[in-house]
Structures are given as C-alpha cells and as structure tokens.
Structure 1
Amino acid sequence: MNISFPPKLVPGDLIAITAPSSGVPPHLHQRLDLAIQQLKNRGYRVREGECLRSQHKNKSACKRLRATELMAFLTDPEVKAIMPPWGGDLAMELLELIDFQRLATLEPKWFVGFSDLSTLHFPLTTLSHWATLHGPNLMDLGARELDPTTQAIWSILENERATHIKQYSSQAYQIEENQWGPASDEGFNLTKETKWKRLDGGTTPVSFEGRLIGGCLDIISRLAGTPYGQLSRFRELNRQDGIILYFENVEMGPCELTRALLSLRLQGWFNDLAGVLIGRSAALDVTEATQHNYLDALRSALGDLSAPVLYDVDIGHIPPQISLVNGASATVEFTEQGSTVTQVI
C-alpha cells in the first residue's frame, strides 16, 4: 500500500484544533489554553474550531457541525495538522459524513491523538491511505515539562520523512487514567515500574517487524465488519511487509474484552500477523480468583497465536504512551530489560 506521510511540521505551520468527539467543558478551558500555548511556544500558529469549548450530551456539537468543521480542516491546504483535545464517545456519528474517498486524492496532514479518535484514524489510513498518529492527545501536551515518552511525539511530527524514529519503553507509568485539574500544568504521576510482557510467559528477547495498524479496541471492535473497519485490503496490500496489530482497552471488562477479541479473530484479523501489541488496560479487573480476569481474556482469545503477543505496552489510557503511526513500517524489539519500537516515518 502506498501510504502517504504528511510533511514534517515546521515553525509557522498552522495547527487546527477541533473536537470531533467530546468537547472541553468550561472548567477545563485553562488546561486547554496551556496546551495551546505550548504549541505556540514551539512556533506554530493555531486555529480553534467552533466545535471545541463546549460539551453537551457527550459531544462538542451536533454531528453535522462536527463533521463539517473536521472536513473543512482536513481539506484546507493551509492546515498542516489537526490535534483534537482528546477523544470521547461519539465520533462514530461522523463516519458517514466524512468523504474518505475525496481525502484519498488530497495531500495528507497529521491527525493526532488516541481513544475515540481511533474511529477516524482507522479509515483515514485504510481508506484514504493517510499515515495517522496514535499518541498523546493535545491535553496531554499542556504540561510545563513532558516526560521522555510523551515528548517523543515531537520527534515524529518534526523530523524529516523517511527518518528512523526509535522509542523506548517507559521507565514508569501512572497507575490510573489522567484526571486534569482545572488549571494544572502538571505532567503525569509516573510511579509504577513499567514492564512489557510476553503473553506466552517467555522472557527471552523477541523481535518482529511490519506495518502498524490499530487503536482503541473499544472502537475498533465496533468498526470491524463495516466499510470503515476493513482490515483485509490493508493486509493484502501490505502482505510482503507483514502487519503489526496494536490495541488498548479502556472500558471493557474481562468477559466483554474476550468477546471483542474473539469477534476480531473470527473475522480473520489475527491471521498471518507479524506481531500484536496490547497496551495497559484502563478497565477494572476482577479480583476473585474463580472469575475470568483480564489476563484470562487475553489468553483465551490470543494465547495460541503463532505470532508474538506483547502486553502491558506503553499504549493508551494509562500513561505515558509511545507514539505509533498507522501505516508506518516498524520493528519491535522486546527484552526484559527494556523494549523498543523503531518506525520509519
């Protein structure tokens, strides 16, 4: 597949901010302002959308206003990147209103973030053939000082194309999802030692390479089987490169997680993969030993795959997270002492 990578960002470029899913309520506008100021401090111009600083019924505005504004930014040649404040719940309302075929004829621009933004990442990459960045949301970038894992997003956005970008597993992570204070410029509270793990329980080093594609499993599992969640064509066009699937779980309990993964498996998503990356789960696990737990879910659905499966990776809602580019060629190297992901951007 001929994936189109946006050009690197340079000072003076215009970054558009819109909320295609959840908007930012008034009590968090100060945090949003801090994040926007950080973009300006790096030399970027910023254009705010109308669908941004409000929140009603789990969304920033009605679906038509959100879709119209997003398409306007996606098709505006002056805009070089779109950085929503965060994800949310209802980006799926926009899918039928976005012209992904038209976007396939245009020069790409960076669409950055995670969570519900996977709803748009996936078709932008598989239908429009744009490389998209699954990584820290704009609100994560409002800290006065970024940890090294989060900071790496700028290595991807600001480097020359065809550069090899190597990211390292974090030293520590935050044990819960982030809850921003109203005027906080704090970064993450990284207190728990990070340890990527092999699902098969092995400890010897493992390495695999392929094209990255994935996102928030809560979303991707709903897209699968629709026109916006077709992995088969992406797989076929990248068969020689191999595919690395990556996921993270935000809300699904162990039994629902099992069903979601098995549904994808029954649709052939886990056939002939180079490897699988599973982020730290943000959902509550069960503590009763007689009940099906999170690790049981992963083993039930993926435990007998021939491809390597790594879990508790720095991806998703339990920060920090590495920045993964959908469509990029990547090499993953796992060791007990620390792991790396190297992407060609």
Structure 2
Amino acid sequence: MTSPAIRYPRPLRPGDRIGVTSPSAGVVGAGAERIEFCVEWLRGRGYDVVVGACMDGSGLTSAPADVRAAELTRMLADPGIACVIPPWGGETAIDLVDLLDYDLLAGCEPTWLVGFSDLSTVLLPVTTRLGWATVHGDNLADTPYDAPEGLLHWLDLVGGAGPFVQRDSGLVADWWRFEEDTRATTWKHVGTGGWELRGGGTLDVTGRLVGGCVETVGPLAGTPYGDVRTWAERFDEPTIVYVEACESDAVDICRHLHAMRLAGWFDRTAAVLVGSTRAPDHPDLTQRGAVEDALGRLDLPVVWDLEIGHVPPHLPLVNGALARVVVDGDRHEITQTLA
C-alpha cells in the first residue's frame, strides 16, 4: 500500500515530454556539445525533449535565481512535462530553494525530478516539503552512459512499477572528458571496488530513502528546506540516509555531517549509506574518519563505497522510496519499492 506521506509521479513512457533546465550551472563549449548529444539521445529513444531558457554557461549560474526558480517551477507544474532534468550540477542552487512556488506545486500532480550533485539541493525540499518522490541519479550529461551489470538506469526506475533490485557493480569508473568524446556512452573503467559494511558482519534493514551530496544538502540542515527529522516522522518506517562527498576535504565534510546530526537527520535512521569519493583527506582526518567522527556516537550501521555520487557509475536512488538494504557475504543488494 502506498504511503500517504509520499507521492510518486506516474511512470515515464516514450512519447512523454522531458524538460531540461539549469537550476545551477549552465552549459558552454564542449559541454554544450555534450548536452546537445544527450538531448538527441533521449529523442532517439522516443522522448519529447524541451530545453528551457536557463542554460547559459557564461557565468556561475545559468540565470538570476528568481528566473531559474520560475523556470523550474513552470516545468514542474506543467502537466505536459513528465520529467525534469538538469544538464549537470554546479555550485549555488541553494539560492533558489526559497524561491520555488511550493504552494502552486502542492496543488499539482507530481513530476519526476532527476539529478545529483548540486541538484541534491533541490531534490531534498521537493521531497520533504511537497512529499514528491525524486531521483538521485544521473544528470543529463551522464544519461547516455550504459548502466553496468548490477545497476539500473534512472529511466528504468521512473518508467516501471518496481520493485527495483540493484547490486554492487564492483566497478570504479570515470567520465570521458567532453574534449575527448562528447558522444561517450560507456564509462571509462579505472578500477574495481565494492560495498563494505563497517565492522563486518551482516546487515538487513528497511527504511525510507533520503539524502544527497553532503556539501549541498548539509547547509539545508536545520532549515525549512532540509527538515528531514519532521519529514521522517510521517512514516511508520525508519529512514535510510545516503550521503556522498564531491570535493570538500574531510574536515568540511565532518562539519556538515555534524550539522545534519544536530538537526535530527539521523534520529530515525536504520542505516547510513556512504558513496565512494575522491574528495581529499585532511592531514589529520580521512573521509571515513569524518563519517566516524560525526556519526560514530550514534552506533548506526554504515555501508561504505556505494555507487551513489561523484565516483561513477551511478546507482539511482528514489527519495521517499521504501528500500531494503542487504549486505551478507557476497550479497550486496538494495531493493526499492515505490510504496
């Protein structure tokens, strides 16, 4: 039975319209060529793609905050648009979270909002304030990449009924630079890896998914746009919080995680999922040490090195979905149910 506290958009089908807008950074140069290819890639799979006006890559953001917020609100409220995706992330999407028209959107049917990195800043309040399920998955620039064995493409999640089962891919990858190949569809393999349960043993937990990029959702903790504690109280189930670091050193990540803890993010949490990262350590603190320092006193299960962030490939997660996470020997698995 579907929880009344979460609203799922209808499944996306070929023929549906996908809106592209830049709530944060716009596109320029070889990046613009990549985005043009990605738009055509989606059209080649039967989707009707409309590109908004907020796409300028000449500055820090694609347009003033009020203009970006208005375009994103329009696309999310348009019943003719079934899904919205940005070209990629950026730096300061936080400047528009209080400019979205939540009252207008609350009266609309939910629309899929997909992306990661700076878009986490927007995914979080859309889920926690509106109750809409959102997808932490590939941005448009990454969408043509094939999902490796074990993982699903974000189009699979928004286009089906589930349950959606994904398993540890064992792959550590990287992006092809746009200057190398603007039409890449296969990840650059750079190594192997795997999920790891802190302290060993086994894990089998169920909860509602919520999370994002630590550098972008951390500053929302304790505000009306990142009130995970109040959101979590609406559910009978605990939460499963996922976090990933982009580029900040371990001390900054530690500070953000403490702020999230103090704001109640982990009060109802059954487990924490931590994405692989290439973010730097501090001379006196590692990235894992940052998580331990902030969350160790909570005695929560922690699963390290999931494919959920700035080290591809990408394991898409649906904010608000009911998820079961199992780590038991060679079984590393997450099942998401849109219920």
TM-score range, shorter chain: over 0.9
Quote the offset at 1:338 in angstroms.
4.3
| Secondary structure of the corresponding residue to residue 244 of structure 1 | strand
**What is the aligned partner in structure 2 of residue 168 from structure 1?**
167
State the AA in 2 paired with 1:213.
V
Query: In 1, distance between residues paired with 2:110 and 2:218?
Result: 26
Deviation track 1:70-101 (CA, whole Å, cap 9, x = no partner) reads 11111111000001111111111111210123
Question: Is residue 269 of structure 1 aligned with residue 279 of structure 2?
Answer: no
**What is the aligned partner in structure 2 of residue 332 from structure 1?**
325
| Secondary structure of the corresponding residue to residue 190 of structure 1 | strand
Aligned CA distance change for structure 1 residues 260 and 178 (closer, same or farther; 3 Å): farther
Aligned CA distance change for structure 1 residues 306 and 81 (closer, same or farther; 3 Å): same
Query: In 2, distance between residues paired with 1:27 and 1:6?
Result: 33
Question: Is residue 295 of structure 1 aligned with residue 288 of structure 2?
Answer: yes
| Secondary structure of the corresponding residue to residue 50 of structure 1 | coil
Aligned CA distance change for structure 1 residues 333 and 253 (closer, same or farther; 3 Å): same
CA contact (8 A) 1:177 1:282 kept: no
**What is the aligned partner in structure 1 of residue 194 from structure 2?**
195
Query: In 1, distance between residues paired with 2:27 and 2:99?
Result: 22
Query: In 2, distance between residues paired with 1:336 and 1:137?
Result: 32
Question: Is residue 255 of structure 1 aligned with residue 251 of structure 2?
Answer: yes
Aligned CA distance change for structure 1 residues 177 and 257 (closer, same or farther; 3 Å): farther
Q: How does 1:39-188 map to 2 (within 5 A)?
A: 39-52=42-55, 54-143=56-145, 145-148=146-149, 151-160=152-161, 163-174=162-173, 179-181=177-179, 183-188=182-187
State the AA in 1 paired with 2:23.
P
CA contact (8 A) 1:195 1:338 kept: no
CA contact (8 A) 1:231 1:269 kept: yes
Query: In 2, distance between residues paired with 1:259 and 1:183?
Result: 37
CA contact (8 A) 1:196 1:336 kept: no
State the AA in 2 paired with 1:255.
V
Aligned CA distance change for structure 1 residues 149 and 124 (closer, same or farther; 3 Å): farther
TM-score normalized with structure 1 length? 0.92
Structural RMSD (CA): 1.8
Q: Which moved more, 1:181-190 or 1:248-257?
A: 181-190
Query: In 2, distance between residues paired with 1:263 and 1:179?
Result: 34
Quote the offset at 1:186 in angstroms.
4.1
CA contact (8 A) 1:214 1:247 kept: yes
Q: How does 1:207-226 map to 2 (within 5 A)?
A: 207-226=204-223
For these two proteins, the number of residue pairs brought into alignment is 334
Quote the offset at 1:17 in angstroms.
0.5
Question: Is residue 37 of structure 1 aligned with residue 33 of structure 2?
Answer: no
Query: In 2, distance between residues paired with 1:141 and 1:150?
Result: 13
Quote the offset at 1:8 in angstroms.
0.7
Deviation track 1:282-302 (CA, whole Å, cap 9, x = no partner) reads 31225x5xx222222122122
| Secondary structure of the corresponding residue to residue 237 of structure 1 | coil
Deviation track 1:236-287 (CA, whole Å, cap 9, x = no partner) reads 101x21111111111221111111111222222222311111111231225x
Mark the runs of 5 or more structure 2 residues left unpaired by the alignment. none
Query: In 2, distance between residues paired with 1:177 and 1:42?
Result: 22
TM-score normalized with structure 2 length? 0.93
State the AA in 1 paired with 2:21.
T
Question: Is residue 14 of structure 1 aligned with residue 13 of structure 2?
Answer: no
Query: In 1, distance between residues paired with 2:137 and 2:279?
Result: 19
State the AA in 2 paired with 1:301.
A
CA contact (8 A) 1:253 1:294 kept: yes
**What is the aligned partner in structure 2 of residue 227 from structure 1?**
224
